[in-house]
Chain A
Amino acid sequence: MRVPFESRALLSVASALAPPALREDWRREWDAEIWWWMGSRTGGRLQLAAHCSGALSDAAYLRYTQTDLPGSIAGVRRSPATCLAALGVLIAAVVAGSGLSETRRVLRGEPFGGRRIVVLSQSLPFMGAHYGVSLGKLADWNARAQSIDGAALFVNRLGVVYVGAKFFEILGTKPAWGTLSGNGVVISYPAWRKRFRGAPAALKDAGVIGVLPHDFWFLGERADVWMLSVPADLKQASAVATLKPGFSPAQARNELRELAAQVRPVSSGTAVIVEPIVRLSARPFTTLGLPWLALVVGVCVASAAVYRRTPRYAAYLAFKSALALTLVLVATIEFGSSWMTINSGETNLAAGVASLWIFLAGPAAALYWCWRDQAVRCRICLHRLVMPVTFGEGARILLERAGTELMCPNGHGTLITGDGADPASQWEPMDGSWRELFVNK
């Protein structure tokens, strides 16, 4: 007699819930039960599934009454699968929370498609940090450069982005409402929906001339207010421009450098940057992707080398580290890409510091956590060790050891972690004579 899929699934779930020591008997009894039900009843699949759902409450009752529930939960917490599952859940949460919008945007080449847009800026003689181009230089390039067309500046000041008149035209942005050219205030689509409830009449009263489209994206900039004007005290800013047909970014860079040198000698080490906007928007991937790969490979190689006698232990460390690094990578790309694209305008060292912080601190914290977690796991079954017992006092003992002794919950061995001047750890396998104590674990 073949039990339908849904009833078998219910029995399997219930079986997993039943206490391991009673599981075999429990399953035999329920198999006989189902067999008898199917032979004597004429009900359909739903009735059988309802009957099988009783197995869930039966198993739950047994689990609750026959086992040490807190002990079982602690056992699950200590298991190696739980750690990996927790990392998997965190990655899934990041994916669900972000919808992988940044990743999908870069993969689709949005939103600039076939446009040949470049971002103009300069780099400092030290550290390579980007900063803006002087407004006089921009005006000169606009007037004389043959390789670019219509450079429009942009600069973020206290959450308001000031842009040149042709900025949105160069990006090819179509307004959701009103116009994106002229002089005035443009607001983002979310701000329009949230503050003006999507009503155009209220915008006119507030002096807003246009609304950006809902899918507008510019290098991770999340400002709500965009001013089509230039602040009176602005000295320098980055700019966007269209690359004319037949010119490459490198040719444009050479031309702009020459034009700049004709007006005023350029300080040594200062470089004109002409970077395609598509490359800038993919910067989080290019910046983080390779280091991520290098770190994953490095951890795999190091784990295999250090723990070559316990390959399962080494593989677990490598896999866990790869998952943790992937979590950092995905979270940084999805939530931190606006810090990693470009500083928008005047010198903004915070952008560099923030991205550097994520770039270094994220993987470092992830790897440190993996190493700490791994250090207190059994070399055989990979469960977290239990029953820490401290011995000795590091500051008072000269020739003896001081530290903490931990034990594998399944009786595979003990770990003595050194203290103070003796930080080395020592794993001592337990022989078969100890197994009796752990039979019911």
Chain B
Amino acid sequence: MPDLSYVSALVLHAIASGQGYGFQIMEAAGLPSGTVYPALRKLEKANLIRSQWEPAAVAHAEQRPPRRYYQVTGDAEVALATAGRKYRLPEFARKD
């Protein structure tokens, strides 16, 4: 299990709270894009999150570009518990 930095733990915590795509995660975590996106890549590489493109039809119906949604994996729970003991993570309003 990788030792998460505060930023990675915050981003993972935001995703676990239901913030699904990049912009939403940035808004919730209060971090700039140049910090959030590398953290997302890092978490995905560590298999703590996985990503999936939403169906084009959904985006088309809402007249917007398709989003890439992020979800936590099973390993994320343990990593978040470890990070929770190490850092004080804020409470996010759950989106799901």
Contact = CB atoms under 8 A, between A and B. Distances in A.
Interface stretch (B4-12, B27-35, B73-81, B82-90): B27-35
Contacts of B45: 65
A54 B33 contact: yes
Interface in A247-268: none
Interface in B20-64: 21-23, 32-38, 41-42, 45, 53, 64
Interface in A16-61: 25, 28-29, 31-33, 35-37, 39-40, 50-58, 61
A58 B65 CA distance: 20
B35 A65 contact: no
Contact of B38 (A32, A39, A51, A58): A58
Nearest to A64: B38
Given A29-B22, A33-B22, A36-B23, A58 B34 contact: yes
Given A29-B68, A35-B64, A35-B65, A55 B33 contact: yes
Nearest to B27: A40
A31 B65 contact: yes
A62 interface: yes
Given A61-B41, A62-B41, A65-B45, A51 B67 contact: no
B91 to A, nearest CB: 23
Contacts of A53: 34
Nearest to A60: B38
B65 A54 contact: no
B68 A58 contact: no
A74 B67 CA distance: 35
Contacts of B33: 33, 51-52, 54-55, 58
A53 B38 CA distance: 13
Given A33-B22, A33-B23, A54-B32, A28 B37 contact: no
A28 B65 contact: yes
Interface residues of A, number: 23
A438 to B, nearest CB: 26
Given A33-B33, A36-B23, A37-B23, A61 B65 contact: no
Given A37-B23, A51-B32, A54-B35, A32 B41 contact: no
Given A37-B23, A62-B41, A65-B41, A56 B65 contact: no
A296 B54 CA distance: 57
B68 A32 contact: yes
Contacts of A31: 65
Given A29-B22, A33-B23, A54 B37 contact: yes
Nearest to B32: A54
Nearest to B45: A65
B64 A57 contact: no
A33 B64 CA distance: 11
Interface in A196-210: none
Contacts of B42: 61, 65
Nearest to A39: B64
A57 B22 contact: no
Contacts of B64: 32, 35-36, 39
A62 to B, nearest CB: 6
Contacts of B36: 54
Contact of A56 (B34, B67, B68): B34
Contacts of A29: 22, 68
A54 B34 contact: yes
A426 to B, nearest CB: 45
A39 B45 CA distance: 30
Nearest to A57: B34
24 contacts: A28-B53, A28-B68, A29-B22, A32-B21, A32-B22, A32-B64, A32-B67, A33-B22, A36-B23, A36-B64, A37-B23, A40-B23, A52-B33, A54-B33, A54-B35, A54-B37, A57-B34, A57-B37, A58-B34, A58-B41, A61-B37, A61-B38, A61-B42, A62-B41
| Shortest Cβ-Cβ A-B pairs, 3 listed | A54-B33, A54-B34, A58-B37
